[in-house]
Amino acid sequence: MADGDSVGDVTVTETEQCAGDTDGDGPTARVRALAGAAGGDRAAARAAVIESLLPLADRLARRYRGLGVPLEDLRQVAATGLIKSVDGYRPQLGRFIAYAVPTITGELRRYLRDRAWAVRPPRRLQELALRTHHAAEALCARLGRSPSVTELADSVGEPVERVGHAMAAFRAYMAVSLDGAAGEAQSPLVEQLPGADPGIDAVVDRLALAEALTTLPGREQAIIRMRFLDELTQQEIAARLGISQAHVSGILSRTLRELRGLLSAEGTTATVPPAQRRPPAGRPCGAPGSRRSPRSSQPAYGRGPCHRGNAGRAR
């Protein structure tokens, strides 16, 4: 890799100067010397080399601060990458710093990709989101203002649409704590969330009742409407329908009992099978589901006389 090449947003030349790898006594010579050491001497030399290069790892770790991960965690990840660099280095790879920088940077990016995201988008979108974030910081420092999406796209060399998707994905990087302060009032976010609305249960109950009412014959529906919507007394209902008040009372009791059974069966909107639905009033006896005898002058309570096998006697 040529001098001045950029690896992980940090130039190799800068890191070499920072680590003192510009002469024969630099990190490259020290790491190469480990190959000739053995036993306890190698372990001590290896520990000394790693300790001397920790400032390099720390500098690379600081490049990723402000992403919701504690800096100390980033330093430990970078130190892990440094150890892998020391153990995996071979002289034919060239200068040690040119090999260590991408190794440490890759370890940091892998950690951020696999551990730091609250909601994980596709890998390519994750990587582009981090690149866009770093490019935005650099452009903001250079331009003195927030860069536009077009400027960001030119900086990272990606289409504007893809950069827009990456910026949207970056919002899923960190989750906001419900106990954290939010807004001008600085009150916990959990206090600003809407609570349970008791009206929702009432809406569900009304929908279930409306469905159950459709299973009733027309006369029962009319009696329920007059009693509970028009608020008529049983005597007034009886006068309108030309039946006795006791008859109205019996119809109401039976109908309300059936509605309660429908609504409590599953706790949700109940659908009554067609075989269980009663026919409209006035259907001739003998028709499917009939409840009245053709000889009866008044409707019978409960089951009709024709269901009791005594069609000649009306109650």
pLDDT of residue 292: 43
Q: Which residue has the higher pLDDT, 219 or 185?
A: 219
Start-end of CATH 1.10.10.10 domains in the chain: 118-176, 198-278
Instruction: Give pLDDT tens digits for 33-67.
Output: 877 676 677 888 888 889 999 999 999 999 888 77
d(CA 217, CA 213): 9
Determine if residue 222 is left, alpha or beta; phi over 0 gives left, psi from -120 to 50 gives alpha, anything else beta.
alpha
pLDDT of residue 181: 65
Q: What DSSP assignment string belongs to 44-66?
A: HHHHHHHHHTHHHHHHHHHTTTT
Amino acid identity at 314: A
Instruction: Give pLDDT tens digits for 111-123.
Output: 887 877 777 788 8
Structure tokens at 103: 């190794």
Report the top-level CATH class of 118-176.
mainly alpha
pTM beyond 0.85: the answer is: no
Report the top-level CATH class of 198-278.
mainly alpha
Given pLDDT bands bounded at 50, 70 and 90, which one contains residue 8?
Answer: very low
Instruction: Give pLDDT tens digits for 156-184.
Output: 999 999 999 988 888 777 777 777 666 56
Amino acid identity at 300: A
N-to-C CA span, the chain: 106
Q: Which residue has the higher pLDDT, 244 or 194?
A: 244
Instruction: Give pLDDT tens digits for 203-233.
Output: 888 888 888 888 888 889 899 889 988 889 9
3-state secondary structure 140-170: HHHHCCCCCHHHHHHHHCCCHHHHHHHHHHH
Query: Which region among 90-94, 143-147, 242-246, 292-296 has the lowest average model confidence (pLDDT)?
Result: 292-296
Given pLDDT bands bounded at 50, 70 and 90, which one contains residue 250?
Answer: very high
